[in-house]
Amino acid sequence: MLLTHKLFLGILAWTVLSVLMAASAGIEVLITLEIIGLLVARELCDGLLTNDVRDRLDFFIYAGLFLFLVVILRRVWLAIA
């Protein structure tokens, strides 16, 4: 099994576990858990991945960080209003 397949299965397992943990907590917790999982996977596999796979993983990390920023801005907006 290729490393990219193992990485995909690991992130998939983390996603399923995150959905189960955040089922009652809300989307904010789910997004936070997903960001944590992606960052940990990227850090653990950094030296073993090709540049193409790193770039694809970085795209998902940036998309998740954007969603995290939206969640933070929403929380701040609700606190101010």
Q: Which residue has the tokens 């998902």?
A: 60
Q: For all residues of the chain together, what is the average pLDDT? A: 92
Rounded to two decimals, the pTM is 0.84
Degrees to nearest 5, angle at CA 50 with 45 and 56: 85
**Total number of domains in the chain:** 1
Q: Give the pLDDT confidence score for residue 65 in this predicted structure.
A: 95
- Answer yes or no: is pLDDT of 74 > 90: yes
Which residue segment(s) compose the domain that 76 sits in? 3-80
CA 55-4-8 angle, to 5 degrees, is: 95
Q: Say what the pLDDT of residue 26 is.
A: 86
Report the percent of the chain where pLDDT is more than 90: 75
Q: Tokens 């995150």, residue?
A: 18
* pLDDT surpassing 90 at residue 47: no
- What counts of helices (H) and strands (E) characterise the chain? 3, 0
